[in-house]
Chains A and B, each alone.
Chain A
């Protein structure tokens, strides 16, 4: 069935990073809360940007 075929051909959305990679400030731009779980990639970059501001 087309649904099964689509399922086989489709790649999962998990672990697809943003097209441009992680850049400072992007978390806020995407509308996600600033409080990120520890170890989340990009947290250090945001902290540096905030410290400079």
Chain B
């Protein structure tokens, strides 16, 4: 996000920016130069596989309260993953545990997020 966000030093919520790669974003161009359409079923399976991977990995660090994956195509927050743990210690353990690792060939970026209520979350 281009907004100036406050980055807490500790929080129950973690942000993994740009981790989810929507297949539509990487679709090869068709004869008209536009990206080829992606099969809806395969796209859904891709998302579910990703969600399972993240949930199972994060569950090792503590109880998860919310897991939100941004499955959007626009630049803003594209592919962002937000995980809110029940307690901050679990989030801290997850941050430490995931730092320096890779997901599907891409480095994992991870930071604490100030978001604690996803219904009220908005970029300010």
A residues sitting closer than 8 Å to B (CB atoms) are 3, 6-7, 10, 12-19, 27, 30-33, 36-42
Contact = CB atoms under 8 A, between A and B. Distances in A.
A13 B56 contact: no
Interface of B: 17-18, 45, 48-50, 52-53, 56-57, 99-107, 109-110
Given A15-B101, A39-B100, A40-B99, A27 B57 contact: no
Contacts, number: 57
Given A17-B102, A18-B102, A32-B18, A12 B56 contact: yes
Name B's interface SS. mixed
Which 7 interchain pairs have the tightest Cβ spacing? A13-B104, A18-B105, A37-B99, A40-B100, A13-B103, A12-B53, A39-B100
A52 B116 CA distance: 43
Nearest to B19: A13
Contacts of A42: 107
A51 B107 CA distance: 22
